[in-house]
Amino acid sequence: MDFVIASRRDEVDAIECKWDPGAFDCSALKLFRNYYPKGHNYLVTPSGDPAYPKRYGDLEVRICTPTELRPTAT
């Protein structure tokens, strides 16, 4: 993970940046979510336009460009 942003006391957003979204390995994110289960997950990449969600097991990750980095509806 490259960045984390605390949006509430018990909610932390996780941000990973990759040039190639195919190079994303979700193992660090899964470990992080064991400790901080609440929050959004983002994979920021230049090829994430338009933004779209992708599932990695039980994790949902929003794949997007930096300009589309924003919380998703819950």
pLDDT of residue 15: 96
pLDDT in tens, 39-59: 999 999 998 789 999 999 999
**CA-to-CA dists, residue 18 to 26, 28, 46, 69, angstroms:** 12, 14, 8, 14
**d(C-alpha 67, C-alpha 25), whole Å:** 23
pLDDT of residue 18: 95
Query: Is this structure's pTM higher than 0.75?
Result: yes
Q: Is the pLDDT of residue 71 over 80?
A: no
Facing residues of 13 across strands?
5
* Domain ranges for the chain: 3-68
User: Across the chain, what does the average pLDDT equal?
Assistant: 90
